[in-house]
Structure 1
């Protein structure tokens, strides 16, 4: 069986192909094709599989994310309950910056749905799900006809309290499809059946805004794969770390917004597990940004509703907690108007790119700094194709540093110091600021630039070790082959602890499980490959946000409910540092997470060969800061493909490979594990 993971980024499309029968692995990088990402994807996959039959393809995409961030989505209309036309504009009556009178408010300045495209109809369902005012179907038909005449492409239907009873939304969707069959139709209860109408309306609006773009892309991709003879089972990564069928992804594209970063966290968890580590910080550094994720022995951290914002908008759909900071290989170093030396968040991008690319770029970047300090080599190419030129990099850094009285080399060292601190601060927000001790974690570094910076970032935080996967530059593509089909289904309940009855919860959870099972059966998942997890979203009475608490397997009796409450107190203490055992608990939602097992990459292995000398490429000076002083130190450069398990590398050392470069700084040492991954001991202790 031939399985392939493809992660499409802004600069490169990363591909890993694995033959489960022979164990052969192929990795490949091709330039992305922004005009149509399916072109580069199919070209790259065709080259990777080299004419062999392809059985399974998992895909991570930025299509939905780019459409939202660039505000390049469909013209969208809204049909909502009379009196609630401006929910998307009013929001929570909060401003991003409390005291600024000159600020952009994303949901107002770049509204996803213009006011003239928001239509109201008479209907009302109360907070218990009872119909108070029947849906006026004629008004729905008129609203749909008006939106069609106004040239909208997508229609969102969002009614008050539809999370309790979706009957009116479903009927309105049927009527819109009758009157306006060309429209992409979204219902808020279909996207996010949760209370809090602004967040639910917004999630639905995002789905409608990016939907036609994603739908067309998935259609083109399917056709192009078929034309290339790549008739594979296609699955698309979602923000929650689960894959979806093309049908589901095209219907609910809002769930794809963190597709690529989610795959990176899955890959980090996969690598860590294979190496016997379960407390992990995943550190994915590309050309533009660094993505940070957290994995614990219990689970991969998911975003809480209060933390899930993209493009300034709340996105209340399940997603892995990935924190992004504008720090990558292309981040531009500059002096701001106040005279401060800064790096990023602006990036030189792929074109013109860093000055050392020789494509006309003149601004100094992190990649230029690494080249000038000798950590990148001019006799090697980046990503297998990009030649590096030192002269433009030196000139760019000289232009930045001379007004500050600094040489190009000192300027380069300053660039790395600042960008490393920016990355370390991003990790602090996910660990120290959330009550987690970073010293208990292993940093899993990947992406084209992650292994270049990981050891120094880890040292500044006290993380004892860094894991560098076997193929760090295509690790997110590996992560696409580490997930399963996944569906999150929930029902809002609003029950106080004393009112909770196990039999009532059992009935609801059984219904949700049956619905989830239907999804998996439709996707062709065999019964033995299905699994189901059950949770309650709980909070103390009066709190604004919830914690997810697992239920016991089997029937829910009174004892099982009490065990759920006990777990909630424990989780609250773990998350916030305190608990209130005598306070009443409110159960907000019950939730079922269904998984369907998909083909996966196995743990890799390499032959034992403790002799690292056969992998030495050169020993040349590189610049490192030691005891506050920038010094040239003899540095050994290794070819990674020639390193066997058991090889030990003393810092300073640099490991070279096609898709990334790994730096082992002075005072640290690294060893090659049996899986082929490199473990860097940051402190140097043995």
Structure 2
């Protein structure tokens, strides 16, 4: 791997996971990696400790003079916003809205997540009923002011506000005319007792129609804002304090977004909801770039960590969505389309009330962790893999972390007594149940959306991904599995590869007509001017920017849209997309434009993946020699070859069954599979006879 950056720049990607925090550092033409346990009570502590350690690592390896004159950029995927929503420990928020719409968040939509569950409990709104305030005002759907906002009533309301930590302002049709929201925001800044209270207005957070989703997203932004601001301030301040001694200038911190791009600390502090689910987004970015480099254009990304598994489908491009939920709260910002299930290395195995074996979604996380970590006393997927011999305690985290196999043996035996099976059958049952959960997730993003998984390659990463990838591929008839180098750190690697991305949108609700293309072009021009200004303020020259224009379209009378590229053929694209997704289209039916979307990209210098095929012929097939053999259970004990990944050169072929160890992950090559190292140091695994 080489880097086009000059040697006076250091780039570090940092991904905070539920169990581990991962670091990938790029300087000059070199890559350094690091991994340590997360600190759930204060994630910043693991981030700062790891940054100090990885910088010290390169200093002690003879690059101290290089570090001393270097400028540092850290791109960080934070879990603070996501965890705040999931754990419901955010700010006390006041909602100011159009009078008689105070309960909109409570009412929500009539959709039922579980159609036949008569005892379904709806998520509790993030704003308590006593802190929702209606203001007499009304703007029509045309943008005309029907009922003016009364400044006197507004002043009285502001004076009555209780002790709160954040404010959300959401009026009807503010996406067309934000006049009243701006008036309220200005009045709050001028007259509020505590002027440091953050204010989120819906026309800035999400200027789109569908008031429930717009209100929900804006309130969620306000709910997480104080906590995220505090976290980023602590991290940014301490980053400068603890690393300045080693560097030529103050470190620069950028924050990963859920749309696959990065933003400044200032922007993340203002719109923190855009940072939710940013860690999984980094993994998809890294996987897509690696797959594209290795000439695989159709990919299913499979990220299995300690707490959960994230899957996404990339059909020659990264899939985006604006329809997501976190903890039952609708979040309608653009984000990479990722489906998450509660199956990871730390997923707890237990017997349910019906006597069946269940794995997840509960996780042991980093604290207490799997039983083999030495503290926890519940069996997990990691314990099952260790018990079966697929994890070797001597080489876990490159031998840097000690495991206690006897604790795994104890909890597996205890669970086997409850299940009524032998310990080996129980351990394999844990893996089969976890694999079934993950296979269902892959079906959701592929088969259920009209894609055939047999046409895709499965690119696996995350600390636990390589242990399960081949068995998943086999169950779904996926022909090829790709395990990239540093697979357990790919989310952090993706953050090194992330460009600066800003998303803009505007609802128009226009019917198709002969002048529509010109109208849309003019509207996009206004969005682009705003985007050019903001990217220019971040220092991007025009030649380093790109603008992607798309439309949300639907047939007149439909409730939901499909997103297609914008040019003169946009209606044709829509009919084609509708036919692919739903199996039919109506070319004789009127089309409606709902939203304009503009994605502004500022390209940053990043590491490049260099081919080593010029050193070793790409066609050379060399049988790798294991450093050891031992028995591992694959249905029955099988003599299995053991390899260190750093010992595998380009072109070598690995027969099965085998286990391949590296610092950040372990890869299992089960019976009937073969593995080969390609010219980019990826492990390519397949059952194909012609492999």
Do both proteins adopt the same fold according to a TM-score greater than 0.5, normalized to the shorter chain? yes
CA distance in 1, matches of 2:489, 2:480: 21
TM-score (normalised: structure 1): 0.94
Matching residue within 280, 292, 302 for 2:320: 302
- 2:676 equivalent to 1:671: yes
1:601 corresponds in structure 2 to: 607
Q: 1:36 to 1:350 in 2, by over 3 A?
A: closer
Is 1:326 matched up with 2:323?
no
Q: Residue 555 of structure 1 aligns with which residue? A: none
Distance 1:497 1:415, change over 3 A: same
1:73 and 2:75 correspond = no
Pick from 629, 640, 643: which aligns with 2:645? 640
Residue 345 of structure 1 aligns with which residue? 361
Note the alpha carbon deviations across 1:132-188, whole angstroms, 9 max, x for none.
1222222223323322xx110101000010011112111211111112212110001
- What is the rounded CA distance, in whole Å, between the counterparts of 2:71 and 2:53 in structure 1? 12
Counterpart residue number, 1:557: none
- 1:177 maps to 189
Residue 395 and residue 35 in structure 1: after superposition, are their counterparts in 2 closer, same or farther (change >3 A)? closer
User: Using the alignment, how far apart are the partners of 1:408 and 1:641 within structure 2?
Assistant: 34
Is the 8 Å Cα contact of residues 639 and 656 (structure 1) preserved in structure 2? yes
**C-alpha distance in 2, partners of 1:550/1:100?**
39
Asked if 1:275 is matched to 2:294, the reply is yes
Unpaired runs of 5+ in structure 1? 553-559, 625-629
Whole-angstrom CA distance in 2 between matches of 1:404 and 1:113: 44
8 Å Cα contact 2:351/2:419 also seen in 1: no
| Paired residues for 1:74-153 under 5 Å | 74-106=91-123, 110-147=124-161, 150-153=162-165
- How many Å separate the matches in 2 of 1:551 and 1:356? 54
The equivalences for 1:469-484 within 5 A come to 469-484=484-499
Which residue number corresponds to residue 274 of structure 2?
Answer: 255
Q: Give the match for residue 505 of structure 1.
A: 520
User: Does the 8 A contact of 2:651 with 2:676 survive in 1?
Assistant: yes
Q: Indicate the SS of the match to 1:112.
A: coil
1:578 pairs, out of 578, 581, 584, with 584
8 A Cα contact 1:169 1:187, kept in partner? yes
Number of the residue aligned with 2:665: 660
Q: 1:261 to 1:393 in 2, by over 3 A?
A: same
CA displacement, residues 295-341 of structure 1 (integer Å, 9 cap, x when unaligned): 111x2111253xx1111111111011110111111111221101112
SS of 2:94's equivalent?
strand
Q: What are the equivalent positions in structure 2 for 1:275-674 lying under 5 Å apart?
A: 275-297=294-316, 299-305=317-323, 308-359=324-375, 361-382=376-397, 384-498=399-513, 500-552=515-567, 560=568, 563-605=569-611, 608=616, 616-624=626-634, 630-674=635-679
Contact 1:153 1:184 in 2 (8 A): yes
Match of 1:64 among 74, 81, 97: 81
Supply the distance in 1 between the matched residues of 2:399 and 2:221 (Cα, whole angstroms).
37
Q: Distance in 1 between matches of 2:433 and 2:332?
A: 34
Alignment of 1:177-256 (within 5 A): 177-180=189-192, 181-230=195-244, 231-256=250-275
Report the CA distance between 1:56 and its aligned residue.
Answer: 1.6
Q: Which residue is equivalent to 2:72?
A: 55
CA distance in 2, matches of 1:457, 1:36: 35
Contact 1:604–1:676 (Cα < 8 Å) also in 2: no
Q: Secondary structure at the match of 1:493?
A: strand
The Cα of 1:468 is off from its aligned counterpart by 0.5
Pair 40,362 (structure 1): closer, same or farther in 2 beyond 3 Å: closer
Aligned to 2:167: 155
Q: Do 2:551 and 2:595's aligned partners in 1 also have CA atoms closer than 8 Å?
A: yes
CA distance in 2 between partners of 1:414 and 1:59 (Å): 37
> What TM-score do you get using the length of structure 2 for normalisation?
0.93
Count residues in correspondence: 661
Distance in 2 (CA, whole Å) between partners of 1:488 and 1:379 is 46
RMSD of equivalent CA atoms: 1.7
Displacement after TM superposition at 1:613 (Å): 6.8
Change in Cα spacing, 1:611 to 1:434, as seen in structure 2 (3 Å) is closer
1:433-472 CA distances to partner (integer Å, 9 max, x unpaired)?
Answer: 1110000111010001001000010010000011111001
Deviation string, structure 1 residues 643-673 (Cα, Å, up to 9, x no partner): 1111110110110011110001111100011
Matches of 1:25 and 1:615, distance apart in 2: 26
Partner of 1:387: helix, strand, or coil? coil
Distance 2:305 2:595 in 1: 37
> Which runs of 5 or more residues in structure 2 are unaligned?
1-8, 60-66, 245-249
Shift of 1:371: 1.1
Is contact 2:19–2:307 with CA below 8 Å preserved after alignment? Answer: no
